[in-house]
Amino acid sequence: MTTQGNLHGKVALVTGGSRGIGAATALCLAREGADVAVGYVNGKEAAEDVVRTVEALGRRAVALRADAADPAETAGLVDAAAGALGGLDVLVNNAGVGLLGPLDTLSLADVDRVLQVNVRGVFLASQAAAARMVEGGRIITVGSCLTQRVPGPGGTLYAMSKAALIGLTKALARELGGRGITANLVHPGPIDTDMNPANGPHAPGQAAMTALGRFGTADEVASTVAYLAAATYVTGAEFAVDGGYAA
């Protein structure tokens, strides 16, 4: 997918933008013409590397630290991004935590942390962004293939947190559609990142569950996000970028 440079003059915020899908998305949006704020909680140097690469593409960029589990920092990140770059047109909710394990091993602290980051953080960032956006704003959230298919035990908490984003996205589409703001959801499948490398010990089994028989790349997810950042008549939709994992 390509947006053919339709993001020129736009400002985007990518949460969790210092590595993996987030970093690839920040760079893809910049190549399409957007200025980009890179949110991060750890990995300041990695976030600053993304900023330098964006700037080398001729776009403005800034790295901003915020913990998605902290309500004040989440809203503050949106405000800081808009303040630094002169507005906000695109929010990419990419920050998240993955916690897999047997049901009986999950503590209350585990539940709270995952829901704070994966659900509450997305809601609060979207709420803050909607207050800033004008006609044509875009909210794009990164979900998970586990909302479509859970192939085995251990994914209860994570799948629940990502499934909540389906209802949130559809409701946002209805809530904000009258203002020309769209909301969409991207579900990555097994993606080759440092958190889940294509040569890792569990990779062969994951790849075998896809129709294409391989891991995807962060760039393949990012290109779908960039398409949605420019698309004008797509909202409340889910896009599986999973190699046929849920087929």
pTM: 0.94
The C-alpha atoms of residue 54 and residue 72 are separated, in whole angstroms, by: 27
The C-alpha atoms of residue 189 and residue 181 are separated, in whole angstroms, by: 26
Per-residue pLDDT, 189: 95
The C-alpha atoms of residue 87 and residue 80 are separated, in whole angstroms, by: 10
Q: Which two tokens stand for residue 54?
A: 């964006």
Per-residue pLDDT, 4: 55
Please give the C-alpha separations between residue 31 and each of 3, 6, 44, 55, 232, in angstroms, as whole numbers.
Answer: 10, 10, 22, 10, 19
Assess whether 158 carries a catalytic annotation: yes
Q: Is 60's pLDDT higher than 50?
A: yes
The C-alpha atoms of residue 189 and residue 205 are separated, in whole angstroms, by: 13
Q: What is the pLDDT of residues 169-213, one digit of tens each?
A: 999 999 999 999 999 999 999 999 988 889 988 889 999 999 999
Q: Which of 40, 158, 227, 245 is catalytic?
A: 158
- Cα dihedral 76, 28, 11, 242, rounded to 10, equals -60
Q: Please, which pLDDT band fits residue 2 given cuts at 50, 70 and 90?
A: very low
Q: Average of pLDDT values for 5-13?
A: 91
Domains of the chain (ranges; CATH) run 11-241 (3.40.50.720)
Compare 135 and 119 and report the one with higher pLDDT.
119
Strands (E), the chain: 11-14, 35-40, 61-65, 90-93, 138-142, 182-188, 238-241
User: Are residues 23 and 46 in contact, defined by beta-carbon separation less than 8 angstroms?
Assistant: yes
Q: Facing residues of 183 across strands? A: 139
Question: Rounded to the nearest 5 degrees, what angle is found at the Cα of 179, between the Cα atoms of 173 and 183?
Answer: 25
